Every structure is written in C-alpha cells, then in structure tokens.
Amino acid sequence: MPACDFKPQPYKGPSRVEVEKIRREKLTPALLTYYKDPLLINQGHMQWLYDNEQRRYLDLFGGIVTVSVGHCHPKVNAALEEQSNLLWHTTNIYMHPKIHEYAEKLIAKMPPHLNTVYFVNSGSDANDLAMLMARMYTGRYDVMSFRNAYHGASPYLMGLTSLSTWRYQVPSGFGVHQTMNPDVYRGPWGGKNCRDSPIQTDRSCDCQPGQCNACDMYMEQLHDVIRHSMPKSGLAGFFAESIQGVGGTVQFPKGYLKKAFDLVREKGGVCISDEVQTGFGRTGDHFWGFEGHDIQPDIVTMAKGIGNGFPLAAVVTTKEIADTMKTSNALHFNTYGGNPLSCAVGSAVLDTIEEDGCQKVSKEIGTYLLEEFAKMKQQYPMIGDVRGKGLMIGIEMVDDAASRAPMKAEIIGNIWENAKDNGVLLGKGGLYSNVFRIKPPMCITKEDADFALAVFKNALEASI
C-alpha cells in the first residue's frame, strides 16, 4: 500500500456491536450495507478512508462518485469552517453574498446560453425540477430517457429511471417513454470503433472511417419509439447521461447523442444532460461530459461531485426556460437550495478542481488505469469489457466472453470482498451488478493506481 503521512484520530464512537444493533433496530430495514463484514468508517483523508481500527483503504468509489477533490480536503474544509462562523442559513427569501458569488462562478463554467441556475439538494431534486421545467416550457407532457438509465428513485423519477432494481409496485412513469439503450457492448449493435474511449469493445465492426452503423441502428430505434409512442403534438424533453453511471459506465456510439438531440428538438422537446456523475472534470477531456459529445443541452442537472460530499445540487438552464417558470406562476422554492454553507463549499470545490489540476489527474491517471485494465483483460477472459473516460471507469465481468453472460453474483462478490480485504474499495453497478465501478476522488496518484491494479489482479487470481 502506498505510504501516507496522515495519522487518523482514534475512534471514539459507539462500539461496533452497538452500531450494528442500532442499524438493525432503529434505521430503515432497507438500508444497504456493503460487504459481508461491513466497514465502520471513522475518518477520511483525500483518497483514503480509515475504519474504527485505523485500517486504511483506497477509496475507488468516492462515496458513490460524490467525493470529487478528496475526503476532507483542507481547502474545502477551510471554506466551510469560515462560513459556519459567519452565517449558516437564512433561505433565499433574504439576500446573502455566497449564493450570488457561487452562481457567477458556476455559470462561468457553462456554455454562454446556459446562464440561469437553480440550487437544490440532490441529484433527484435536480432531475425532478428539470422534468417540471421541460413540461412547463414546452406545454407538453411526454418525456423520454434510455433503458438502463438512472436519474433518481423518487416517485416522480421512478418512471424516468429504467432499471428494474429501482422500480417498485407503485404508480409511476406517466408520460415517460424509454428507447433502446445504445450499448455497443451488450446491445445488438456495436463494434471496435464505436466509443469515445481509450478502450474499445472487442466486437467486430465493419464501419468505414467517419461512419458508425451502430449509431444509425440505435437512432432508428429512437425514431421508432417516437413514431409509435409519442403524441403527434411532440414531446417535452429527453434525458441523457453523458456516460451512464448506475447502469454500469455505459458509453454510447460516437455521434449518437448529437443526432438524438437534433431529433428531439425537431419534435419540439428540450434536451436535458444529466451530469450528476460525469460533471466537474471527471471524464478528463472536458469539464462536462456533454462536451465530449459535441452537444449543447437546454438544461443541465448536476450533483454529487459539485459539493465533494456536501448536500448540494443544481439545475442550469437558459433564461428563456427559466422565464417560463416565472410567467407561468410555477413558483419553485427549495428551503436549503443555495444555503450559505453549501454555496461556500461549492465555490471552494470549483477553486480546488482548478488549483489542484483535478481534471488533468482524471485524464492522465484514468487513461493509465483504462489501458492497464485492458491489458489485464487479455489475460483474464472473465473481464468482458473495459470502458470509460477519465476517472469514470467500468469493468464488466462475465462468465463467458463469447455470450457475454453476466458473471455469477457469488464470484463477483468474492472478487469484491477480496479487494476490500486487501485495502481497495470498489463500487458495483449495472442491471446484473456485474460491473465494477471505479470513480475515485480526483486526487489519486499513479502509485495508488498501481496498488489498485495489483490488488484487483490478485482478487481475480483468488477467484479462479
């Protein structure tokens, strides 16, 4: 394990037995707990987490893609402490400087037409509001997303999310339609030249330079859904992640989102980019994931990395769409949205991403990890696909490389547990939970990456 000078504080909380009892008896029984022998985390420092016995773990999941610049980053901590001694909360019925300072700083990161921001508390809040905006602005009701997409699990968003894991026996999905997910690894079409990624799928591809047959085939499916499922009056909006997160780091064919956005606008809808996981430099090449697709969304939703773990999210849109919310008397008020503490944190996160070169780290270390995992794939057929950009990486595990049958849960679990026992924390995703999700804080080093690769390889060896 790489050396680290940081010394964690002694654990002073309730005993592990007490914690387990409280969790079992007093917290929601639906609360998910990772690992057979769950971690009791006491402290975080940059890319590292420490448990109650001061054991150290390399956090490759970043609090579900939320810790962007590092656990308890000193610059962000200092901004929070300074603001906490000045003003905690008023709501926005009064003016306070932080929301105005932060709004200007965040808007400066957006394309010029996206110049109005609503602050909320979570990605679900943001996508809820974006769907409302799309419907109010267009005067239409029907909304589209992808199968395999995740945009939140609130009752309003459950229909927009299209993973059975997050769909329950309650009324949902009114006016929401899904098109075929343009997955070039697991879908019916796709090949070795389709993705905007350092690593391509092994599937054969007969596309000519500058052409993607898979893109055209998946676009025909989008046309088909519109032809058969949409009212002739058109649609309100279309949601798309730049790279699917919960769905397993799925990337679309090159050029697909640009064509899809053009078609949606032709049908009267607005285009919504969900940057909850892909924003803030994580993809390396760009600050926003949508920039990698050469598209200009009408609404952008963001959360997670925006606050480095602090409850903060935002919706950024055009003045025209925002004005519709006002002229339609669609008052939107969020008690904690734009809270002074959250705005101080958000502002410090933007500064830290710039000052620490986090986007460059994502590009360089992320590409290195992708290339090394791709080499490992040649040695271990159980690695079906390696994909992603920057520090948004997915490793899809299979039982059979030819059929792409998802790896059995027991084997996935053994690899996952083994990595944890040796000091590396991985996420899981995809409909079958067979994709290891690697989305660490954007401060990891090459030495950390080499350690993670060695631990992962050993975990594979132990599962064979």
**Which CATH number belongs to the domain containing residue 435 in this structure?**
3.90.1150.10
User: Residues 283, 364: one domain?
Assistant: no
Residue 456 domain flag: yes
User: Residues 258, 373: one domain?
Assistant: no
Tell me how many domains the chain contains. Answer: 2
User: Residues 390, 313: one domain?
Assistant: no
Cβ proximity of 197 and 370 under 8 Å? yes
Residue 382 domain flag: yes
| Residues spanned by the domain of 159 | 78-355
Report how far residue 272's alpha carbon sits from residue 152's, in angstroms, rounded to the nearest whole number: 14
User: Residues 322, 267: one domain?
Assistant: yes
User: Residues 124, 34: one domain?
Assistant: no
DSSP alpha helix (H) spans, 273-405: 319-327, 340-355, 358-379
Residue 402, judged by CB atoms within 10 A of its CB (0-12, 13-18, 19+), counts as exposed
Residue 102 domain flag: yes
User: Residues 315, 334: one domain?
Assistant: yes
Q: Which of 213, 307, 287, 284 is nearest to 254 (CA)?
A: 213
User: Residues 306, 388: one domain?
Assistant: no
CATH number at residue 339: 3.40.640.10
Residue 4 domain flag: no
Residue 443 domain flag: yes
User: Residues 409, 453: one domain?
Assistant: yes
Cβ proximity of 51 and 42 under 8 Å? yes
User: Residues 207, 311: one domain?
Assistant: yes
Q: pLDDT 10s digit of each residue in the chain, 464 long?
A: 999 999 999 999 999 999 999 999 999 988 889 999 999 999 999 999 999 999 999 999 999 999 999 999 999 999 999 999 999 999 888 999 999 999 999 999 999 999 999 999 999 999 999 999 999 999 999 999 999 999 998 888 989 999 988 888 887 778 999 999 999 999 999 988 899 999 999 988 877 777 788 999 999 999 999 999 999 999 999 999 999 999 999 999 999 999 999 999 999 999 999 999 999 999 999 999 999 999 999 999 999 999 999 999 999 999 999 999 888 777 788 899 999 999 999 999 999 999 999 999 999 999 999 999 999 999 999 999 999 999 999 999 999 988 999 999 999 999 999 999 999 999 999 999 999 999 999 999 999 999 999 999 999 999 88
Report how far residue 422's alpha carbon sits from residue 436's, in angstroms, rounded to the nearest whole number: 16
Last residue of a domain, one of 328, 355, 382: 355
Residue 255 domain flag: yes
Residue 31 domain flag: yes
Neighbours of 345 (CB within 10 A): 24
Task: Tally the C-alpha atoms within 13 A of residue 241's C-alpha that lie toward its C-beta.
Answer: 30
Last residue of a domain, one of 330, 355, 380: 355
User: Residues 363, 343: one domain?
Assistant: no
Q: Would you state the torsion angle of the CA atoms of residues 98, 100, 102, 107, taken in this order, to the nearest 10 degrees?
A: 170
Report how far residue 432's alpha carbon sits from residue 426's, in angstroms, rounded to the nearest whole number: 16
User: Residues 158, 301: one domain?
Assistant: yes
Last residue of a domain, one of 355, 389, 408: 355
User: Residues 321, 373: one domain?
Assistant: no
Give the SS3 label for residue 116. Answer: strand
Q: What is the pLDDT of residue 92?
A: 85
